[in-house]
């Protein structure tokens, strides 16, 4: 199977986007696949979430500006089969710099092409910034699909309609004709509240099979794990959150195999 590129994105912050990128990457690696986590968010939370230090000059930023090679930026992590292209704050300048370049929406796609062709990884997961800026659009141009984490709250669906508009523009404009939402995962689910249950059923009614069966519960342990530089399955492997991300990883792998 060719290396697949999935962008994890939601322009709204605080929805569990990076948490999902980190924990899904770790669970799929644990299941035996070779995963590259590409931290394209200047906040660099995915980088620290897998225990890698943020170091100046180690992100994709210089490569996006034409200096060096992206494969040289790949770091191994403490977790088997999980590699990382780290981020750091210098990526903040990338949106402005990229806007000046020719073919500015295809820079990430061009850089990822040789990595995907090298057959070193089964899956590349890109953690996007919480916006629909040029870095995120670059990830969309490179991706085979978008995985959208949605928080179980009232305004969850507003973000999806905006993202759908952007995806349609990118498809119809020829930037990425194959682009589609690969899946939607409901995060921060609290089974005790009526709201969480209502939002999940509303999202399922609207988006149908695109919504994964697995919902990710709200959890203190899940929130704590990044400060220890560990995905939840390596921080508290018997927790409900670890189990949820392991089941989600199986769903994602099944969907990848059927696409």
- For the domain that residue 92 is a member of, what is the CATH number? 3.40.50.300
Q: State the sign of the Cα–Cα–Cα–Cα dihedral 34, 233, 60, 111.
A: positive
Q: Which domain holds residue 169?
A: 4-253
| CA distance from start to end of the chain | 11
Number of structural domains found in the chain: 1
pLDDT tens for residues 15-39? 999 999 999 999 999 999 999 999 9
Give dist(CA 34, CA 30) in Å, integer. Answer: 9
For residue 49, the SS3 value is helix
Q: What is the pLDDT of residue 1?
A: 67
54 lies in some domain: yes
124 lies in some domain: yes
Q: What is the pLDDT of residue 160?
A: 84
pLDDT tens for residues 223-253? 999 999 999 999 999 999 999 999 999 999 9
Assess contact for 116 and 2: CB atoms under 8 A: yes
Structure tokens at 258: 């059927």
Reported confidence tier of residue 9, pLDDT bands at 50, 70, 90: very high
pLDDT tens for residues 75-112? 999 999 999 999 998 888 888 888 888 889 999 999 99
Reported confidence tier of residue 128, pLDDT bands at 50, 70, 90: very high
Structure tokens at 16: 């569990």
Q: Which residues of 51-83 are buried (b: 16+ CB within 10 A; e: fewer)?
A: bbebeeebbbbebbeeeeebeebbeebebebbb
Secondary element (H or E) of residue 75:
strand 75-76
Give dist(CA 104, CA 197) in Å, integer. Answer: 41
259 lies in some domain: no
State mean pLDDT over 169-175. Answer: 94
DSSP state of 202: H
Q: What is the pLDDT of residue 72?
A: 94
Helix boundaries (H) for the chain = 17-30, 45-49, 61-64, 94-99, 107-117, 134-142, 156-172, 194-207, 220-224, 232-235, 240-258
258 lies in some domain: no
Kindly report the average pLDDT of the chain as a whole number: 93
Give dist(CA 201, CA 195) in Å, integer. Answer: 10
């Amino acid at each position: 199977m060719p290396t697949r590129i999935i962008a994890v994105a939601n322009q709204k912050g605080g929805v569990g986007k990076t948490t999902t990128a980190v924990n899904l990457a770790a669970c799929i690696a644990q299941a035996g696949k070779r995963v590259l986590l590409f931290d394209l968010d200047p906040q660099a939370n995915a980088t620290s979430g897998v225990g890698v230090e943020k170091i100046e000059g180690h992100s994709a930023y210089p490569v996006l500006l034409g200096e060096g090679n992206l494969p040289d930026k790949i770091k191994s992590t403490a977790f088997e089969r999980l590699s990382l292209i780290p981020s750091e704050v210098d990526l903040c300048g990338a949106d402005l710099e990229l806007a000046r370049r020719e073919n500015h929406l295809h820079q990430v796609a061009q850089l990822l092409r040789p990595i995907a062709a090298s057959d070193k990884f089964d899956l590349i997961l890109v953690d996007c910034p919480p916006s629909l800026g040029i870095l995120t659009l670059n990830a969309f141009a490179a991706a085979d699909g978008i995985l959208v984490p949605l928080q179980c709250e009232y305004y969850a669906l507003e973000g999806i309609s905006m993202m759908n508009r952007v995806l349609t523009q990118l498809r119809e404009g020829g930037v990425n004709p194959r682009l589609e939402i690969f899946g939607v995962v409901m995060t921060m689910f609290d089974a005790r509240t009526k709201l969480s249950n209502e939002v999940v059923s509303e999202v399922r009614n609207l988006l149908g099979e695109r919504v994964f069966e697995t919902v990710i519960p709200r959890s203190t342990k899940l929130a704590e794990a990044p400060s220890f530089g560990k995905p939840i399955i390596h921080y508290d492997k018997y927790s409900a959150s670890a189990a949820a991300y392991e089941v989600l990883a199986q769903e994602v792998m099944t969907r990848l195999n059927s696409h």
